[in-house]
A = this chain, B = another copy of it.
Amino acid sequence: MLQNIRVVLVNTSHPGNIGGAARAMKNMGLSRLVLVDPIDFPSHEADARASGASDILQAAQVVATLEEALVGCNLVLGTSARDRRIPWPLLDPRECGITACEQALEGADVALVFGREYAGLTNEELQRCQYHVHIPSDPAFSSLNLAAAVQVLVYEVRMAWLAAQNQPTKVAKLETTAMLNTQLVTADELESFYTHLQQALEEVGFLDPQNPRHLMSRLRRLYGRNNISRAEMNILRGILTETLKAARGEHHKQGKSDV
């Protein structure tokens, strides 16, 4: 369950970041926020940045030490910007999301721990974590905003959770058939279209039957890769029909009584 995953912010300076973290959590379906010795909380600025997630701020647990924040936790994952002298099991955000989600779904209590804006977590705090998580930022400018770091990890938790539930990570499918919610044209319908298209191109003078070059091949490749739906085909055929009429001088513009 996602509510088994708590977000722990250690010694946060800027209340705006607490609010931003709360909003990111709620966006991704998490709700349990623990604040270790925050510098300025509760705060107007935290509420402002939380936007509609002030319920998470109101329910936030404020404690004095990291130890208290981690009571009952089976798995503790701590964010780390830097390489440490003592190498530690390291996860990237995706592995963190998967690990946290797997454990939470098995009933474990999981903590994602984030350090101070400028100094991160101390070595002692990091040693309370089973895993360190590093967001793979550009080494030339590696320090993420605190709320942004929370956003990345809770996003990965949600992606893992959706995958575990077999829920789609997007509201519609990329596949065009599903996307268009309708039938694709068949090969023979496509062939009729090409015949019609060729006829129209000859009529408007774009295709010379004596010297067709590779024009129809190119057009077949263009339209062929497009998974045209039946509704779209009706539009294309309609265009060709009107084009032929216009080219043959049988042209009656819509909205005019005559030409």
Contact = CB atoms under 8 A, between A and B. Distances in A.
Interface of A: 20, 23-24, 26-29, 49, 51-53, 83, 87-95, 134-138, 141-145, 147-148, 151-152, 155, 158-159, 162, 168-174, 176, 179-181, 201, 203-211, 215, 218-219, 222, 225-226, 228, 231-232, 235-236, 238-239, 242-243, 245-247, 249, 251-255
A49 to B, nearest CB: 8
Contacts of A147: 145, 148
14 contacts: A26-B141, A28-B137, A87-B179, A91-B170, A136-B162, A203-B246, A205-B252, A206-B239, A207-B254, A209-B255, A211-B254, A219-B235, A243-B246, A243-B247
B136 A159 contact: yes
A235 B255 contact: no
Contacts of A89: 174, 176, 179
Contacts of A180: 87
A222 B232 contact: yes
A238 B222 CA distance: 15
A196 to B, nearest CB: 13
Given A23-B144, A90-B173, 15 more contacts: A23-B145, A24-B144, A24-B145, A27-B142, A83-B172, A89-B174, A93-B155, A93-B159, A136-B168, A147-B148, A148-B151, A205-B252, A209-B255, A225-B226, A247-B247
A23 B215 contact: no
A169 to B, nearest CB: 4
A217 to B, nearest CB: 11
A251 B137 CA distance: 52
Given A24-B144, A228-B222, A254 B204 contact: no
A186 to B, nearest CB: 17
A94 B254 contact: no
Contacts of A245: 204-205
Contact of A26 (B138, B172, B242): B138
A176 B238 contact: no
